Amino acid sequence: MTTFSPAVTLTDQFELGLDAPICLTWELTYACNLSCVHCLSSSGRRDPRELSTQQCKGIIDELERMQVFYVNIGGGEPTVRSDFWELVDYATEHHVGVKFSTNGVRITPEVAAKLAASDYVDVQISLDGATAEINDAVRGPG
């Protein structure tokens, strides 16, 4: 005769813990192409101590081994790094999803189409005003 054990409750599952973190937040750069008056990060020039492309890929490899579901990339403006899109591609090719926050200035129609076609990338674009005047007052002219 087969016996069944009681179902494991959701609470029991949380007490057992996860095998890996769901998300890792990564401040990829402090550099930014804007001068927002409200910015809480240390945005500005690129820090010479930032990780190289190879070092970033090494971290992504570790995240894949740890089975991290996704990395949330922020900082200053991550798209100002010349290797940013290479790192996004590398992460998704290694089963690490990417969420990133951007001011959107460097999102071209081609980049937008590529992002829209990806199941592993989520983008948050900040808007700082409903009019050009308000936006420029917050972010600087342009």
| Assessment of whether the complete model's pTM goes beyond 0.75 | yes
CA distances (Å), 120 to each of 5, 9, 39, 113, 128, in order?
Answer: 37, 30, 27, 14, 26
Task: Report whether pLDDT(24) > 60.
Answer: yes
Where is average pLDDT lowest: 2-11, 18-27, 49-58, 88-97?
2-11
How long, in residues, is the chain?
142
Higher pLDDT, residue 119 or 58:
58
Q: Which residue has the tokens 């095998």?
A: 19
Show Cβ contacts of residue 10 under 8 Å, excluding neighbours closer than 6 positions.
none
Nearest-10 Cα torsion for 31, 97, 56, 52: -40
Task: Report the pLDDT value the prediction gives residue 7, as an integer from 0 to 100.
Answer: 67
Tell me what percent of the residues of the chain surpass a pLDDT of 90.
Answer: 51
Fold topology of 27-132: TIM Barrel (3.20.20)
pLDDT band at 8; cut points 50, 70, 90: low
CB 1 within 8 A of CB 49: no
> Alpha-carbon distance 49 to 45, whole Å?
12
Mean pLDDT of the residues in the chain:
86
